Amino acid sequence: MTKPAIDIGRVGIWYGGIDALPTPEARRAAQVVEELGFGALWVAEAVGRDPFVSSAVLLSATSTLKLATGIANIYARDPMTMVAGQKTLAEAFPGRFLLGLGVSHGHLVAGIRKHDYARPYSHMVEYLDRMDKAMFMARGPETEPGRLLAALGPKMLELSATRANGSHPYFTTPDHTKVARDLMGPDALLAPEQMVVLETDPAEARRIARAGMKIYLGLPNYFNNLRRSGFDESDWTDGGSDRLVDAVVAWGTEAQVAARVAEHHAAGADHVCVQVLQDGMASPEPFWRRLAPVLLG
């Protein structure tokens, strides 16, 4: 399939921590992302706010900003409900909502939601089949809004190109972006996430990076993908080896962060979602303001 009609630009902001903000502050954060000129704001789904409701709130607070889900969990709602949420937002905010969906992780699906996580890839295939056949009898968008899949391994990346409009890889490297582009071909949208730390002291930068990486290093999906990229068990010790931290998280000056984003683009990314890691849960607005001139100039 080809890229979705919605234009999310070359660089966006991935902000999972927006759920920790009171709604008025979340609306303000979206307005800042729009003001700075980033192409899209990405919101997540885990055990916090509903991503469709949040998207409606944030889209209502802005006038041109695109919202993308990174990602909506397919185990959280049936295919008809997923399509209804997607098309409702796409009709209400034309050209401003992009659905990213994925299989999430075993501890969230089986552990918390109590669903069967035995066959996530097959479940995704069946889910997309049912999305394609889902009834939606309300007023819909004038153009198909498109969808992306959270994808890391070869099978899901290929599915992203054939059954969706592209992929949204998370917790990856520019090398993975190159692999993803080669597997998906030239026509699908490729929008990887990139963690960044604006800190030039190596010890402090890696301390902040390890804190942000901690939860992901315990998840099999990411572990297996990084093993395919040449990392091994030794890279998981003590919160991640320097080699692993430096590969996954771009740290240093604004120019060094911009250089990593440029690596993704050179490797085939259409759009890079930048996630700022920091101490605490305050809005990353100051860091977004520092990055905007180098990432969007």
Question: What is the secondary structure of 194-211 as a DSSP string?
Answer: EEEE---SHHHHHHHHHH
- pTM for the whole structure: 0.97
- Assess whether pLDDT exceeds 90 at residue 297: no
CB under 8 Å to 52, separation ≥6 — which residues? 69, 72, 85, 88, 89
User: Helix (H, G, I), strand (E, B), or coil: what is residue 239?
Assistant: helix
What CATH superfamily is the domain 11-296? Luciferase-like domain (3.20.20.30)
Place of tokens 């009609």: 5
Minimal CA–CA distance to 169: which of 119, 111, 229? 229
Q: pLDDT by residue (tens digit) across 72-117?
A: 999 999 999 999 999 999 999 999 999 999 999 989 888 989 999 9
pLDDT at residue 281, rounded to an integer: 84
Query: What is the rounded distance in angstroms from the CA atom of residue 183 to the CA atom of residue 275?
Result: 25
For residue 170, give both structure tokens. Answer: 């998370």
pLDDT at residue 162, rounded to an integer: 98
CB under 8 Å to 100, separation ≥6 — which residues? 42, 68, 69, 70, 71, 72, 147, 148, 149, 150, 168
Sign of CA dihedral 24, 29, 33, 39: negative
Q: pLDDT by residue (tens digit) across 131-156?
A: 999 999 999 999 999 999 999 999 99
Minimal CA–CA distance to 214: which of 246, 239, 234? 239
